Structure 1
Amino acid sequence: MKFIHTADLHLDSPFRGLDEMPTQIWQRVHQSTFTAFERIVDDAINQQVDFVLIVGDIYDRDHHSAEAEDFFIHQCRQLAKQQIPVYLSYGNHDYQPVTEQLNSLPNNVHVFGNQVETKTLTLADGQIVAITGFSYGKRWLVEDQTSKFPKKGTADWQIGMLHGAISQNNPDQDHYAPFTLSELLQKKYDYWALGHIHKHQVLNEEPLVIYPGNPQGRHKNEDGHHGYYLVQSDADKLTAEFKSVAPIEWCEIDAQLNHDQTADSLIEMLLHKEKTEDRFKMIAFNIHLTGQVNDLTKKLLANGTILARLQERLSEKGDYQWWPYQLNLLKDTALPKMTDLDQKYWDQSAKDVFSQAAVIDLADKLAKYGFIADQLADPSLVKQLRYEASQKLGEGDHDEN
């Protein structure tokens, strides 16, 4: 048995917050979610998989564009030509009532209803696969759905599809079909195909419980490689291999700004900072100040002039291998000198304060809003808050001297 597990396609993502850029780059960015899924379909055909699982959030929003729906249907038809079935569920972004009358998808696509149900598939070698899942009928599902999943039956392979998040044991936070890992393991399934979290991760090895992440990162907090999992049977167990397909990678690159650098020399340095690779990159440069820096250069950095000049230079070349969308001016400020005891208390306090749970608790009712909840769930937010706090503490120490 061989299948592809993907989720969170977010076709037609608006990519909000990006400044003006050349048409050629914007088209590449806008098409990236489409391109990523097209690559998954191509891989499914080339790998001759038995089926494809798509665990929620096919579209970026409930009122998706006709372009996105037409594209998705076309890709499913490509799989149909190769007799590859698709099993999909809708998530919190593309929630909808599932009825046969509303289903315009080709016959090889099997959509899970708004209640937990099991669909079966007989493979070419006679093995029977049971797949259990459900679709969101509304944006929030605060009830734990795992109790409705049956335990493994007589099928050769039992797979669970669940678009949701690990329970925080807080009704103000658990909006997306909350579950616990222990609940999933009690079902004795052979594989849990998860969706909703946008960074690929393996929650459990035996049996495999996996978030594939989204195939294409949509902003700077979704950096690194993105793709899907190719899952294969090996005797009586399953193995999973991550496959990267994202046409665009979001990343941050550090650069040192020395005291003798002018705006022109800094631009030249940044132009040669990124090595050309196969993958197009959207780059945020973190400019670290070292020592006494040219005031004019600092001002040009702060007001966006250097970023605009850098983008202009790349546009003049017309060979777009990467694009800088942000320059962050950072001053590395050391924490105040501490005794061993002070350091101990700082480390312990930082551990308690700068945690995901503490940040979500501080956000209070704001965490009810979907787009805010998504940001709060990003581990990089906690890291950034801790960095900024340490910088403020360091500045305070220097001000007193």
Structure 2
Amino acid sequence: MRFIHTADLHLDSPFLGLTAMPTSLWERVHSSTFTAFQKIVDDAINLRVDFVLISGDIYDRDQQSIAATDFFTQQCERLNRARIPVYLLYGNHDYHVVHGTDSLPANVYVFGNQVTTTVLTLANHETVAISGFSYDQRWIERDQVKDYPQKGNTVWHIGMLHGAVQQSTANHYAPFTISELASKNYDYWALGHIHKHQLLAQNPPIVYSGNPQGRHKNESGQHGYYLVESHGKKLVPHFKAVAGIEWSTVNVTAIPTANLTEFERSLSQQIAAKAKKTPFQLIALTIEGSNHLPSAFRHLLANGDVLEHLQTQNKANNNWWIYDLLIHQQSSLPSMTDLDADYWQQAAKEVFTPARIAELTKSLAREADLADKLATLDLEQLKQATTQLLRRED
């Protein structure tokens, strides 16, 4: 048996916060979630998999664009022509009350809003039970795993679940524990919701596929899907990267010079030497050693002029694009004239914590539907950016 496990496609993601890009590059970035899923379908057909599992958040919002729904239907139809079944459920981003197959091709099975189990018979006559459910609202705080049946008489049993490991607080996404998943005696758990691919357990495999395409700086590194194959009585997952665009951080050193052109050329050369050639890199540039630069240079770095110059020079580059620039300050806070450095360091320890950020933004997250984005904040980058703002000399 061979199947594909994917999740969190987030088709038509808006990719907020990217500015000053050439039109062709912006179009490439904006279409990257579509391109990644198309590659998955290509692989499914070329590898002749038995079926495809999609564990939630196919779309980025509960109100989908026509472009996204049409594209997804077309890709499912490609799988239909190849006689590959698709089993899918909806998550917290594309939640809705399920009625049938939502006008998708005949090869698509959509899990309803209660836990159900369907059975597939493979060409070799092995039977596969697949259990799952779709979200009918944004938050599901109840543990749904108790509704999943124990493994029965089928050769294989797979659980699909869009959810998060149970925490002490804020369990909004179908919370579960690893031990209760293992207690069902399934052969594989195909998880969605967390955007970093990872194995929570190996026996049986309890697996987050991650999203096929990273959508912002906190989703750096490789993204793709899992190809799962049977070896004897076990199912073994293999990660396959498909993302055409990768978010990364590049650290460079500021050379001491009074010539701005020479300074920017040095930065570009260092980036070119350190950036990966493939896939295309969206780079957050961190500059070290800026303390030794003339104050005019530091001002240009802080107000965004250097970033703008680098972006202008880089418009024809086919390997990378700088979307952000941060200054790594190596000394204590000499330019904060009215702020004691010791007080700042103590305050920073208390402010830049997940719990404090969650508390400060609680009402905003509820009203503006920003809980997921706030949960993925890079606190170290937030601290650096705040420090940079405090240092800025107007």
Q: Note whether the superposition's TM-score is higher than 0.5.
A: yes
CA distance in 2, matches of 1:372, 1:115: 26
- Contact 2:282/2:320 (8 A) holds in 1: yes
Give the count of matched residue pairs: 373
Q: Given the alignment of the two structures, is residue 148 of structure 1 paired with residue 147 of structure 2, yes or no?
A: yes
> Which residue of the partner structure matches residue 211 of structure 1?
208
Q: Deviations over 1:338-390 (max 9, x none)?
A: xxxxxxxxxxxx99997656754665555656854324543x7344467789x
Letter in structure 2 aligned against 1:24: S
TM-score (norm 2): 0.88
What letter is aligned with 2:298?
K
Question: In 2 relative to 1, CA 191–66 (structure 1 residues): closer, same or farther, beyond 3 Å?
Answer: same
RMSD (CA atoms): 2.5
Q: What is the DSSP-based 3-state SS (H/G/I as helix, E as strand, rest coil) of the residue aligned with 1:71?
A: helix
Q: One-letter code of the match for 1:229? A: Y
SS of match in other structure, 2:314: helix
CA distance in 2, matches of 1:241, 1:70: 30
Q: How do 1:212-361 and structure 2 match up within 5 A?
A: 212-260=209-257, 262-272=259-269, 273-274=271-272, 275=275, 277-315=277-315, 318-333=316-331, 356=354, 360=358
Select which of 191, 203, 208 maps to 1:194.
Answer: 191
Partner of 2:32: 32
- 2:110 aligned partner, one-letter code: V
- Secondary structure at the counterpart of residue 125 of structure 1: coil
User: For 1:11-47, what per-residue CA distance to the aligned partner results, in whole angstroms no more than 9, with x for missing partners?
Assistant: 0001111113111100100110000000000011111
> What's the offset of the Cα at 1:294?
1.3
CA distance in 1, matches of 2:286, 2:317: 23
Deviations 1:149-174 (A, max 9, x none): 0111111111000001111132xx11
1:312–1:355: structure 2 CA closer, same or farther, 3 Å change rule?
A: closer
Number of the residue aligned with 1:184: 181
Deviation (angstroms), 1:220: 0.7
Pairwise mapping of residues 49-198 of structure 1 onto structure 2 (< 5 A)?
49-100=49-100, 103-170=102-169, 173-198=170-195
Cα 1:261–1:300, aligned 2, differ >3 Å: closer, same or farther? Answer: same
Looking at structure 1, the residues matched to 278 and 378 of structure 2 have their Cα atoms a distance apart, in angstroms, of 29
After the TM superposition, which of the residue ranges 297-306 and 224-233 deviates more from structure 2? Answer: 297-306
Are the counterparts in 2 of residues 262 and 297 from structure 1 also a CA contact under 8 Å? no
Equivalent in the alignment of 1:399: none
Which residue of the other structure, out of 378, 383, 392, is the alignment partner of 1:381? 378
Distance 1:64 1:117, change over 3 A: same
1:126-155 C-alpha deviation (Å, 9 max, x unpaired)? 100000000011111111111110111111
C-alpha deviation, 1:263, in angstroms: 2.4
CA distance in 2, matches of 1:308, 1:353: 31
- In the TM superposition, what whole-angstrom CA distance separates every residue of 1:232-260 from its partner, at most 9, and x where no partner exists? 00000111111100000011100111332
Distance 1:167 1:366, change over 3 A: farther
Cα offset, 1:269, TM superposition:
1.9
Of the structure 1 ranges 241-250 and 361-370, higher mean CA displacement relative to structure 2 is found in 361-370
Matching residue's letter, 2:289: L
2-structure distance, mates of 1:37, 1:236: 29
Q: Which amino acid aligns with 1:180?
A: T
- Judged with a 3 Å threshold, the aligned counterparts in structure 2 of structure 1 residues 238 and 353 are, in CA distance, closer, same or farther, namely farther
Asked whether the equivalents of residues 56 and 163 of structure 1 are also in contact (C-alpha less than 8 Å), the reply is yes
SS at 1:179 equivalent: coil
Go from structure 1 to structure 2 and tell me whether the alpha carbon gap of 1:124 and 1:17 turns closer, same or farther (over 3 Å shift): same
* Aligned match of 2:338: none
Q: Which amino acid aligns with 1:222?
A: E
Distance of 1:367 and 1:21 partners within structure 2 = 29
Q: Distance in 2 between matches of 1:353 and 1:159?
A: 42
In structure 1, the residue corresponding to 2:164 is in which secondary structure?
coil
Q: Secondary structure at the match of 1:327?
A: strand
Q: For the structure 1 residues 366 and 239, does the alpha-carbon distance in structure 2 shift closer, same or farther, using more than 3 Å as the test?
A: same
Q: CA contact under 8 A between 2:226 and 2:237: conserved in structure 1? A: yes
Alpha-carbon distance between aligned partners in 2 of 1:388 and 1:327, rounded to the nearest angstrom: 9
8 Å CA contact 1:258, 1:291 repeated in 2: no
Give the Cα–Cα distance (whole angstroms) in 1 for the partners of residues 163 and 367 of structure 2.
Answer: 16
SS of the equivalent of 1:251 reads: strand
Please tell me whether the aligned partners of residues 255 and 263 of structure 2 are also in contact (alpha carbons under 8 angstroms).
Answer: no
* Cα distance between partner residues in 2 of 1:370 and 1:184: 33
